[in-house]
Chain A
Amino acid sequence: MAQVSLRKIVKMYEGDVQAVKGIDLEIEDHEFVVLVGPSGCGKSTTLRMIAGLEEISSGDIAIGGTVVNDIPPRDRDIAMVFQNYALYPHMSVFDNMAFGLTLRKFPKAEIKRRVDEAARILDITPLLDRKPKALSGGQRQRVAMGRAIVRDPKVFLFDEPLSNLDAKLRVQMRTEIKKVHQTVRTTTVYVTHDQVEAMTLADRVVVMNQGLIEQVGPPQELYHHPATRFVAGFIGSPAMNFLPARVENGAVHLPGGAVLPIPEARRARYAGAPGMDLLFGIRPEHLTDHRPGLPNRADITITPEVIEPMGMETLAHFHLGEARDCCARLEPTVLAEPNVPIVLSADMNNMHLLDAKSGRVL
Chain B
Amino acid sequence: MSAATASKDVAKGSGIYSKAGSLSSERRWALWTAYASLILATIIFLAPPVYMFITSLKGSAEIANMQGNPWLVRNPTAENYTALLGNTMFLRFFLNSFIITGLVVLITMVISVLAAFALARMRFFGSQFLATGVFLTYLVPDTLLFIPLYQIVGGLGLLNSIWGLVLVYPTLTVPFCTWIMIGYFASIPKELDEAALIDGANWMQMLTKIFIPVAMPGIIAATIFAFTVSWAAFVYPTAFVTTPDQMPLTIGIVSQLVRADTFAWGQIMAGALLAALPPVVIYAFLMDYYIAGLTAGATKG
Question: A: which residues have CB within 8 A of B?
Answer: 51-53, 72-74, 78-80, 82-90, 99-100, 103-104, 131-133, 137, 140, 147, 151, 164
21 contacts between A and B (CB under 8 A): A52-B198, A53-B194, A73-B197, A74-B202, A78-B198, A79-B198, A84-B191, A84-B301, A86-B301, A87-B195, A88-B192, A89-B214, A89-B299, A99-B196, A99-B199, A100-B199, A100-B200, A132-B301, A147-B195, A151-B199, A164-B301
**Given A52-B197, A86-B192; 6 other pairs, CB 8 A cutoff:** A51-B194, A74-B197, A82-B195, A83-B191, A86-B301, A103-B201
Candidates A73, A83, A131, A133; contact of B198 at CB < 8 Å: A73
Closest-CB distance, A204 to chain B (whole angstroms): 24
Closest-CB distance, A96 to chain B (whole angstroms): 9
> Bound state CA distance, A87 and B191, in angstroms?
9
The answer to whether A133 and B200 touch across the interface, beta carbons within 8 angstroms, is no
Chain B residues contacting A99 (CB-CB under 8 Å) are 196, 199, 209
Closest-CB distance, B215 to chain A (whole angstroms): 10
Chain B residues contacting A164 (CB-CB under 8 Å) are 301
Chain B residues contacting A89 (CB-CB under 8 Å) are 214, 296-299
Asked if B210 lies at the interface with its beta carbon under 8 angstroms from chain A, I say: yes
Contact flag A88-B198 (CB < 8 Å), given A82-B191, A103-B205: no
Asked if B278 lies at the interface with its beta carbon under 8 angstroms from chain A, I say: no
> Bound state CA distance, A133 and B213, in angstroms?
15
The answer to whether B189 and A84 touch across the interface, beta carbons within 8 angstroms, is yes
Asked if B300 lies at the interface with its beta carbon under 8 angstroms from chain A, I say: yes
Contact flag A104-B195 (CB < 8 Å), given A84-B189, A88-B210, A90-B213: no
Question: B: which residues have CB within 8 A of A?
Answer: 189, 191-192, 194-202, 205, 209-210, 213-214, 216, 296-301
Contact flag A84-B300 (CB < 8 Å), given A51-B198, A72-B197, A99-B199: yes
The answer to whether A74 and B301 touch across the interface, beta carbons within 8 angstroms, is no
Candidates A80, A88, A90, A133; contact of B194 at CB < 8 Å: A80
> Bound state CA distance, A354 and B298, in angstroms?
51
> Bound state CA distance, A84 and B299, in angstroms?
10
Chain A residues contacting B300 (CB-CB under 8 Å) are 84
> Bound state CA distance, A83 and B297, in angstroms?
19
Chain B residues contacting A83 (CB-CB under 8 Å) are 191
What residue in chain A is nearest B201 (Cβ atoms)? A103
Chain B residues contacting A82 (CB-CB under 8 Å) are 191, 194-195
Chain A residues contacting B298 (CB-CB under 8 Å) are 89, 131-133
Chain A residues contacting B299 (CB-CB under 8 Å) are 89
Name the prevailing secondary structure of the B interface residues: helix
Chain B residues contacting A84 (CB-CB under 8 Å) are 189, 191, 300-301
The answer to whether A103 and B199 touch across the interface, beta carbons within 8 angstroms, is yes
> Bound state CA distance, A222 and B202, in angstroms?
42
> Bound state CA distance, A88 and B188, in angstroms?
10
> Bound state CA distance, A82 and B195, in angstroms?
8
The answer to whether A133 and B296 touch across the interface, beta carbons within 8 angstroms, is yes
Chain A residues contacting B196 (CB-CB under 8 Å) are 88, 99
> Bound state CA distance, A84 and B301, in angstroms?
5
> Bound state CA distance, A85 and B200, in angstroms?
17
Chain A residues contacting B194 (CB-CB under 8 Å) are 51, 53, 73, 80, 82, 86
Closest-CB distance, B184 to chain A (whole angstroms): 13
Chain B residues contacting A132 (CB-CB under 8 Å) are 298, 301
What residue in chain A is nearest B188 (Cβ atoms)? A89
Closest-CB distance, A279 to chain B (whole angstroms): 41
The answer to whether A87 and B301 touch across the interface, beta carbons within 8 angstroms, is yes
The answer to whether A86 and B197 touch across the interface, beta carbons within 8 angstroms, is no
What residue in chain B is nearest A100 (Cβ atoms)? B199
Chain B residues contacting A151 (CB-CB under 8 Å) are 199
Candidates A85, A103, A104; contact of B301 at CB < 8 Å: A85
> Bound state CA distance, A215 and B118, in angstroms?
42
> Bound state CA distance, A51 and B191, in angstroms?
12
Contact flag A53-B192 (CB < 8 Å), given A88-B210, A88-B214, A132-B301: no
Contact flag A104-B297 (CB < 8 Å), given A80-B194, A82-B191: no
Closest-CB distance, A145 to chain B (whole angstroms): 13
Contact flag A74-B198 (CB < 8 Å), given A89-B298, A103-B205, A133-B296: yes
The answer to whether B192 and A74 touch across the interface, beta carbons within 8 angstroms, is no
> Bound state CA distance, A99 and B189, in angstroms?
18
Closest-CB distance, B256 to chain A (whole angstroms): 47
The 10 closest A-B pairs by CB, nearest first: A133-B298, A86-B191, A100-B199, A85-B301, A86-B195, A74-B200, A84-B301, A103-B200, A90-B213, A82-B191
> Bound state CA distance, A164 and B197, in angstroms?
23
Residue from B199, B201, B205, B299 having most chain A Cβ neighbours under 10 A: B199
Chain B residues contacting A74 (CB-CB under 8 Å) are 197-202
Chain A residues contacting B213 (CB-CB under 8 Å) are 90
Chain B residues contacting A73 (CB-CB under 8 Å) are 194, 197-198
What residue in chain A is nearest B199 (Cβ atoms)? A100
> Bound state CA distance, A164 and B214, in angstroms?
22
> Bound state CA distance, A125 and B297, in angstroms?
24
> Bound state CA distance, A80 and B199, in angstroms?
9
Chain B residues contacting A72 (CB-CB under 8 Å) are 197
> Bound state CA distance, A164 and B191, in angstroms?
14
What residue in chain A is nearest B191 (Cβ atoms)? A86
Residue from A82, A89, A147 having most chain B Cβ neighbours under 10 A: A89
